[in-house]
Amino acid sequence: MPSSWTIAKGVARTVRGVSDVALRAGAYVAQGQDLRRGRRAAASGVLAPGDPSPPPGAADCYDYRGVAVRRELAPLMNGEFSLGHWLDPRRGPRDAIGLPRQVLTRHVAVVGPTGAGKSASILVPWTATALRAGASVVAVDPGGDLLAGVAALRRHAGALGARVATWDYTAPASSVSWDWLAALHGDDELAAASEALLGRLRPGDAQLPLRQRDDRTLRGLLEVVRATRRGATIADLLATLQDQQALVRARAAVAGSAGARRLAEVAGLPAHEYGPAVSTVVDALDALDRPDVRAVTDQRDLELERLFDVPTLLVVVAPRNGGRTSETLASLMLSQVGRVLARRSGGGAGSQVLLLVDEAPRLGRRVDLEALLSVSRRASASVCLAAQDVADFGDERTRSRVLDGCGTCVALPSASDASARYFANRLGQRQQAAVGVATTTGAVAPQRSVTRSSAASPVLGVRELTDPPWGPRTAVVHVSTVVGRPILVDLTRRELP
């Protein structure tokens, strides 16, 4: 007869066996439930945070499991600068959210094609918000969209507590005038003006030595003519540069100065070589030697040093069809505003400042946008760069340097592969569990089992970024400084419960 100890061990083995069977059965049931839940979620067309992976053969669907959920959005619930409404992948648009002022000082990039709503949904509302808060706004407007949007703000400028001005060479009668030549006080301003007129020097450019000579020539010309001719104009610069003997005389009048030294190379050239040597600088100045430009640059209505003493809205109109003239004038203004901000490093006196630059890549050839972001941050100013496509910023290294300098990126739906790849890389990857069904051949009949695995996948894929299922006013927002995961927003202006 077995002992009581032997009986007890047998009972324990039996209990363990029953328990193991029960656990395996429970696990299989749970896995089966995951399969069913994954299949149902895929059938809805959209996977949301918390959804399990769909099994093989499930319906094709969008995968938004990596986006932020409501509890992560507390820092944005009372933000002043509207980002529309947070979009729940299951329930649609819900709470209104926005960027707080301190987050905006880490800068913003907005990327989306023409007609996507950049101006109506972001640039114009942010202009109104900034002015109501007592800040100043400088906006570069290439298509007139911003100007049309702020027309109502201009009618109510008194209520907003801001003075309003437009710098627009296409409409001189209603434009303020800015004597940019008189505003060049130091070497930094001269360097910025030279970049705006000639374009930025690019390391590795096969023509770099000639480009550097052009830069020295223009900077020397600006210094010498301003020193020898009171109230100098573009016409004075051209007249001096196109006559080698006039240049020699002007240089001799300020012998020993930095400007004279910069002109030494071209001033000493043989006569037959002089014309070709200065032709690039002549062409750059000639683009501004026209009546409509002179009408908005020959007076000192606008003093940049005093621009931010009180809240001010300055709209710089830079029409897309204006070619080099339009780009040069907008770049001159933006680069010199940057120099003013550099002198206000640490905040300084006066109003807070918001720079809105639509179609920013157009000006990136003439303004160092990366440096502008850095200078503005030190001055506690905010910059919003808008673009149609990240590829417009240049090669991958250049666009990364500029866009990575923005703490917040807003991606509107776009067919651009470059934009989608940039944002997908910016958002990174996440570990995602996958569920499958494996079939093995048993002694009697095939056996099916649920398998689990884990793999790295993009937080958001290309399709999720370029073609969201909620319409063209859907955007993906990445606020890297306060919310780790991307946020879905609906930028359609609406009242929601």
pLDDT at 132: 87
User: For residue range 292-329, what is the model confidence (pLDDT) as tens digits?
Assistant: 999 999 888 898 888 888 889 999 999 989 899 999 99
pLDDT at 105: 92
pLDDT at 426: 92
pLDDT at 328: 96
Low pLDDT (below 70) residues in the chain? 1-34, 152-160, 345-350, 433-454, 493-497
pLDDT at 20: 46
pLDDT at 449: 60
- Tokens linked to 269: 């050239």
pTM: 0.86
pLDDT at 27: 42
Query: At CB < 8 A and 24+ separation, what contacts does 328-331 make?
Result: 328/196, 328/197, 328/284, 328/287, 328/288, 328/366, 329/167, 329/169, 329/288, 329/293, 330/140, 330/142, 330/362, 330/363, 331/195, 331/196, 331/363, 331/366, 331/367
The mean predicted confidence, pLDDT, of the chain is 86
pLDDT at 123: 92
pLDDT at 497: 36
264 Rama class: left (phi>0) / alpha (psi -120 to 50) / beta:
alpha
